[in-house]
Structure 1
């Protein structure tokens, strides 16, 4: 019988501990797309009138020391803008559903990541490298 020590190439590779923050690329890409869509929606909301439908608005009211701000009349949104907004929102819902139900989260649970640790991993995805449109380094470089 041979009791020779196996060479390093033959030795079993040590398993790396599971890292719940080692997100798959497709998951990071989806989170990035969700952030981009959210930004597009916010930009559309800032540009469009406050009411999607035409609305007459209302006057400011001061009643017994309480004030309620008024709203100017709104012409409503043009049909093309409403359709574009609806498309953005539908895509955002689809992408966020993909992120929330991705198999990575099951893999995390299967590896013992649960409760607050799973929540922390989900939160970390929102700022993970490649999962956000702009990182702090991007801003420094652009400045």
Structure 2
């Protein structure tokens, strides 16, 4: 399959995206990025939790599989929960706008799949990458 073209008016070409579809994809990508950036600042549990320590092996043996531990947390504040819910709703809404766009109704199968993947990689549909600040990561615990 070819990459997206610069002629968004060709309804027979699945890679000829209408400008509003490209904008919708960009909005969806930005919403997803904002949600994940915000998640990085939140405690690991939405509700208060005592946390846990990774188990120690019995009789000096080795434990199989990944081991994890989590510190105790007070959970999220009501403001943090409201902001997370707002960002998650933005992800759902913008993703639905892309998925339900009339452009996709004309195509099916491999053409539609390849075109959807190409749309996600279009320069005009990608958000600007912002580095995660170290301070954001410090507040995540």
TM-score bin (small chain): 0.7 to 0.9
1:61-72 → structure 2 map (5 Å cutoff): 61-63=55-57, 64-66=61-63, 68-72=67-71
Q: Is 1:118 matched with 2:117?
A: no
Match in the other structure for 1:131: 125
What number of residue pairs does the alignment pair up?
115
Structure 1 residues 23 and 61, CA gap change in structure 2 (3 angstroms): same
Which aligned segments of 4 or more residues in structure 1 are displaced greater than 3 angstroms? none
State yes or no: 1:79 paired with 2:78.
yes
- Structure 1 or 2: larger strand share? 1
CA RMSD of aligned residues (A): 1.8
User: Which one of the candidate residues 41, 46, 59 is aligned to 2:53?
Assistant: 59
CA displacement at 1:30 relative to structure 2: 0.9
User: Counterparts of 2:19 and 2:73 in 1: how far apart (Å)?
Assistant: 43
RCO greater where, 1 or 2, for CA within 8 Å and sep 6 or more? 2
The answer to whether the 8 A contact 2:31-2:94 is kept is no
Q: Distance in 2 between matches of 1:60 and 1:53?
A: 20
Corresponding position of 2:100? 101
Deviation of 1:70 after TM superposition, in Å, equals: 1.1
With structure 1 as the length reference, what TM-score do the two structures score? 0.73
Q: Which is greater in Rg?
A: 1
TM-score w.r.t. structure 2 length? 0.74
- 1:134 offset after TM fit, Å? 3.2
Consecutive unaligned residues of structure 1, counting only runs of 5 or more, are 1-15, 136-143
Per the TM alignment, residue 69 of structure 1 is displaced from its structure 2 partner at its CA by 1.6
Match of 2:42 in 1: 48
